[in-house]
Structure 1
Amino acid sequence: MRPVLEAAGLGVRYRRAWALRDCSLAVPAGRVAALVGPNGAGKTTLMLAAVGLLRPSRGGVRVRGEVAFVAQDKPLYESFTVAETLAFGRRMNTRWDDRAALDRLGTLGIPLDRKVGRLSGGQQAQVALTLALARRPDLLVLDEPLANLDPLARHDVMRTIMAEVARRELTVLLSSHVVSDLEETCDWLIVLNGGRLQVSGGIEELLDGHVALTGPVELAGGGSPDGKPVAGGLGGAAVVSASRTPRQVALLVRGAPVLDPRWRARRPGLEELVMAYLRSPESAALPGLAGVGA
Structure 2
Amino acid sequence: MTPVLEAEGLGKRYGRRRALTDCDLSIPPGRVIGLVGPNGAGKSTLLQLACGLIKPTSGTITVLGQRPGTDAAQLAKVGFVAQDTPVYAALSVADHLRMGAHLNPGWDGQLAQRRIAQIGLDPKQRAGRLSGGQRAQLALTVAVAKRPDLLIFDEPAAALDPLARRGFLENLMEFIADLGASAILSSHALSDVQRVCDYLIVLADSRVQVAGEVTQLLERHRRLSGSRNELEVLPPGFEVVHADHTVNGSSVVVRTNRAAAPSGPWQWAEIDLEALVLAYMTRAEAQR
Q: Give the TM-score normalised by structure 1.
A: 0.88
**Does residue 259 of the first structure (1) align with residue 260 of the second (2)?**
no
Letter in 1 for 2:22: D
Q: Name the counterpart of 1:272.
A: 275
Do the aligned partners of 1:12 and 1:21 also contact (CA within 8 Å) in 2? yes
Q: Distance in 1 between matches of 2:171 and 2:17?
A: 38
In the TM superposition, 1:196-207 aligns within 5 A as 196-207=207-218
**Does residue 163 of the first structure (1) align with residue 166 of the second (2)?**
no
In the TM superposition, 1:120-269 aligns within 5 A as 120-220=131-231, 231-255=232-256, 256=258, 258-260=262-264, 262-269=265-272
In the TM superposition, 1:52-63 aligns within 5 A as 52-63=52-63
Q: CA RMSD in A?
A: 1.8
In the TM superposition, 1:10-21 aligns within 5 A as 10-21=10-21
**1:282 Cα deviation from its structure 2 partner:** 8.5
**1:232 Cα deviation from its structure 2 partner:** 2.0
1:169-198 deviation per Cα after TM superposition (whole angstroms, max 9, x unaligned):
211011111111110210111111111111
Q: Distance in 2 between matches of 1:192 and 1:29?
A: 20
Do the aligned partners of 2:133 and 2:160 also contact (CA within 8 Å) in 1? yes
Identity of aligned residues (%): 45
**1:217 Cα deviation from its structure 2 partner:** 4.5
**1:263 Cα deviation from its structure 2 partner:** 2.1
**1:123 Cα deviation from its structure 2 partner:** 0.5
Do the aligned partners of 1:234 and 1:259 also contact (CA within 8 Å) in 2? no
Do the aligned partners of 1:214 and 1:248 also contact (CA within 8 Å) in 2? yes
Moved more, 187-196 or 57-66: 57-66
1:128-180 deviation per Cα after TM superposition (whole angstroms, max 9, x unaligned):
01100001111111100111100011111111111112223211011111111
Q: Distance in 2 between matches of 1:150 and 1:52?
A: 31
1:99 equivalent among 95, 110, 118: 110
Question: Unmatched 5+ residue regions in structure 2?
Answer: 65-73
Do the aligned partners of 2:84 and 2:159 also contact (CA within 8 Å) in 1? no
**1:258 Cα deviation from its structure 2 partner:** 4.1
Q: Distance in 1 between matches of 2:8 and 2:222?
A: 30
Do the aligned partners of 1:233 and 1:258 also contact (CA within 8 Å) in 2? no
More helix by share: 2
Q: Distance in 2 between matches of 1:87 and 1:69?
A: 18
1:95-149 deviation per Cα after TM superposition (whole angstroms, max 9, x unaligned):
1011111111211112212111111100000000110000111111110011110
Q: Distance in 1 between matches of 2:157 and 2:251?
A: 32
Q: Distance in 2 between matches of 1:83 and 1:167?
A: 23
